[in-house]
Amino acid sequence: MLVPHHSVLKQLPPFARLSEIEITEVLRSAVPRRYPAGSVVFEQGAAALHFSVLLNGRLRVTQVTPTGEQVVVRIVNPGDIFGIARALRLHTYPGTATAVVESLALSWPMEQWEPLVERYPSFAASAIRVIGERLLEAQSRIREISTEVVERRVGHTVLRLVQQSGVREAEGIRIDFPISKQDLAEMAGTTLHTVSRILTAWEHAGLVDTGRQKLMVKDPHRLLLVADGIEPGLLG
Amino acid sequence: MLVPHHSVLKQLPPFARLSEIEITEVLRSAVPRRYPAGSVVFEQGAAALHFSVLLNGRLRVTQVTPTGEQVVVRIVNPGDIFGIARALRLHTYPGTATAVVESLALSWPMEQWEPLVERYPSFAASAIRVIGERLLEAQSRIREISTEVVERRVGHTVLRLVQQSGVREAEGIRIDFPISKQDLAEMAGTTLHTVSRILTAWEHAGLVDTGRQKLMVKDPHRLLLVADGIEPGLLG
DNA sequence: CGGATTGTTGAGGATACTCAAGTTAGGTGG
DNA sequence: CCACCTAACTTGAGTATCCTCAACAATCCG
């Protein structure tokens, strides 16, 4: 497999401020990896041996509780850093990453983390920002799950997907990777049944278009009104 | 007011690997600030002008939702960095910090953040770790709120307080700052009424001792069993 | 075409919330 | 130091929300 060209890395914020020579240097210890759809990228509890950047595709990161319930922690989009357990002084991955579509990542041995952070201040600053954004997102989710009724929670979950993984199309904004009702439920802190009922109601109201692992938001503005509780819910 | 001595800063991880001279330099732009119990340290939405380290006391960081409900984001303990909005490229504070007891902090102008991160790689690494720990904690809360019944959620909330702010005493572990049932509710994603009922049940079972803004865990081990769902709940 | 995965829909019921009323504790000021 | 006032807490009753359980339908894939 071809080692990615400098220009690919140069696009990504963590590496944007590095020189050509530095990027060459950084790329020396990187290995590209391909993950077929459905394959496991790393597993919760396994030794954290690599950190990576997703070049294309999508990953779904999940955690399972001791009692077996699953929670979707986040979706990894192209350009995102992932698997940085070492930055948190963890020796094992806190979650499981699965490729939802065929994906390509650039992967470094975990020992390279400290040198990168120490040598390239702009890399460190970018890492702080990335983790900080995830923290803000996590706190939003906590706020939502704690204070909002299910329908609004699902609304915010869908809107977050729209922002992070939506592509504009003729009839609306499509979530451009396969996502099941179960996934949505595990993101919103509810059950697949409740998500199904809510999306059906929204579909009748013309807010969304859904199908098996498909989701398109036709009226983001009105969905926002529902999610923010300005417009009443659409459940029977 | 007295400017803190080097040795105070030297104890804190973010500064531990700096030399005497560097610490002197860093202290030059720092200002100590005193906050009376109940006073507001910074307010959600206000311009983020300072970041700080808590020297002693406790802060409670909250967020209010657009609809007015409040959520407790975290408790700031001595030694913690707080108010680092700038690291996340925010220009305003995402939450409100209130001193729950008289507190003392060391405070830097926000413009000092970038120089510190760029100049002292060990400071950057420490910042990454601190934010990462908060992220892990936030994800634990999401997992708990999403999957656990209230009693277990409250259990985990109390246990987290024990770990972060508990002091060992003769009869158990005391949370050593004033914490109301309302606070606990806003941490666990429930109501003050439910927290009250649960704590009363636990008190009868000898797990805890509660009072007005007081909380002591007498049997942490058994509380853990309840929180983890190994032992059945104690609610009537 | 058949099996498996994903999704739909209904009925019933438990959990935890809301609403309400009262109690206790602590701080404040006279 | 006591009386008062407020904030914190307790407890009960009724009920809404959303979960669980169940059966079935649709879609995809080999």
Q: Which domains does chain B have, with CATH numbers?
A: 6-134 (2.60.120.10), 148-227 (1.10.10.10)
HSE of A184 in the Cβ direction (CA atoms, 13 Å)? 32
| Cα angle, residue A182 at apex, residues A178 and A188 outer, rounded to 5° | 105
Residue B219: predicted pLDDT: 98
Q: Which residues of chain A register pLDDT less than 50? A: none
Sheet holding A172-175, edge to edge: A166-169, A172-175, A214-217, A208-211
Alpha-carbon gap, residue B236 to B224, rounded angstroms: 19
Residue B7: predicted pLDDT: 82
Pull the structure tokens for residue A185.
């439920």
To the nearest whole Å, the CA of B7 is away from the closest chain A CA by 24
- Asked if the model's pLDDT at residue B3 lies above 80, the reply is no
Residue B235: predicted pLDDT: 84
A212 by Cβ neighbours in 10 Å (0-12 / 13-18 / 19+) ranks as: exposed
- Asked if the model's pLDDT at residue B85 lies above 90, the reply is yes
- Asked if the model's pLDDT at residue B212 lies above 90, the reply is yes
Strand, coil or helix: A69? coil
What is the pTM assigned to this prediction? Answer: 0.95
**Residue B103, by phi and psi: left (phi above 0), alpha (psi -120 to 50) or beta?**
beta
Residue A7: predicted pLDDT: 82
Q: How many CB pairs under 8 A join A and B?
A: 126
Residue B128: predicted pLDDT: 94
**Chain C bases closer than 7 A to any CB of the protein:** 6-11, 15-20, 24-26
Sort out which chain A residues have CB atoms less than 8 A from B88's CB and list them.
128-129, 132-133, 135-136
Q: Are B114 and A126 in contact (CB under 8 A)?
A: no
Q: Is A138 on the interface with B (CB under 8 A)?
A: yes
Sort out which chain A residues have CB atoms less than 8 A from B192's CB and list them.
none
Q: Is A229 on the interface with B (CB under 8 A)?
A: yes
Confidence of residue B144 (pLDDT cuts 50, 70, 90): very high
Alpha-carbon gap, residue B188 to B143, rounded angstroms: 11
From A118, A143, A145, residue closest to B121, measured CB to CB: A118
The percentage of chain B sitting over the pLDDT mark of 70, rounded to a whole number, equals: 98
HSE of B61 in the Cβ direction (CA atoms, 13 Å)? 20
Q: Is B69 on the interface with A (CB under 8 A)?
A: yes
Average pLDDT over residues B33-59: 96
